[in-house]
Amino acid sequence: MLCTQRTEHSEKSGVDRQEQVTVACIQFEPVFGDVAFNIGKTIELIEHAANAGACIIVLPELCSTGYVFHSKTEAFKLAETVPSGPASKAWSEAAQRLGVVIIAGIAEVESQKLYNSAVIIDSSGVLGVYRKLHLWGDENLYFEPGNLGAPVFDTQYGRVSVAICYDGWFPETFRIAAIQGADIVCIPTNWVPFPAPQAEKEPIATILHQAAAHSNSLVIACADRVGIERGQKFMGHSLLIGHTGWLLAGPASGDREEVIIGNVDFRAAKCNRTLNQFNNLLDDRRTDVYSSFNGLNIKAND
């Protein structure tokens, strides 16, 4: 099924944009090291999402390889180059056939360096790569910090920004996306459980990303994985958050393969940044104050 929805023309980018866009977050359990199986599984789930009307489809972090590496040598063996790697090629073919945009996590190798990356693909092929800026835990042993900044990608369905997992714990991630005119932040993630009070039912990741969506009037799509890999449990709970901060789809379960789908309105998201006749979420920033902190390297215990 080819994704077709009503579009509007954007003078800024020169491309057609959707008024209403259907977004899907795919949650599943990759098999560590079985790249062929994982790619095949993602294609099956991408087709399911596209047949349900999704035009923007987000998959988890490192979904073609698995997450828990035991050595840098192991990570190198599973990593791929872009755009010639097996996952990049398979997803590009699917995006062209189905007329969708795909954002998916890979282990990327370039110039003998490894990155925890996401490819951004549309029907023309790979639009670009995002490399995770903030590495979590043992990722620091295998991957280099991202060196491509925080780009926003123009697609026929809207302006797409990307973050990966721990990037979402930094409010700058979402503010920079909003300043650059992003319509949506797509987040491939491998969330692990965080301790919580016994009475608390919502994972902190859900609360954190709802707050980011609200404070920037941004749509945020988080695609997590499930399962236990080499002793590490992953928590699922993929979700699609509207620009007001309230959920449009999900959270998904904590232990099952699911495709969550919702409709978003990018025009309303940008209009909503003007809160009333006096206030706008971006215009009200006190950059005169913030600028005094530029260049300071403040550590946690300073």
Maximum CA extent, the chain:
57
Residue 271 is among the residues annotated as catalytic for this protein: no
Residue 132 is among the residues annotated as catalytic for this protein: yes
Nearest to 152 by CA among 174, 187, 180: 180
Residue 74 is among the residues annotated as catalytic for this protein: no
Residue among 25, 132, 222, 258 flagged as catalytic: 132
| Helix ranges (DSSP H) in 149-295 | 171-179, 204-216, 266-271, 287-290
Nearest to 257 by CA among 227, 302, 277: 227
Residue among 61, 108, 139, 258 flagged as catalytic: 61
Residue bearing tokens 């459980």? 193
CB 129 within 8 A of CB 137: no
Residue among 25, 165, 186, 222 flagged as catalytic: 165
Residues 6+ apart with CB under 8 A from 152: 159, 160, 161, 177, 180, 181, 182
| Crossing angle for the helix pair 204-216 and 171-179, to the nearest 10 degrees | 30
| Token representation of residue 254 | 């904590």
CB 184 within 8 A of CB 266: yes
Rounded-to-10 torsion of CA 249, 252, 258, 263: 10
Nearest to 249 by CA among 210, 192, 298: 210
CB 186 within 8 A of CB 160: yes
Between CA 263 and CA 300, with CA 216 as vertex, the angle to 5 degrees is: 130
Residues identified as active-site: 61, 132, 165
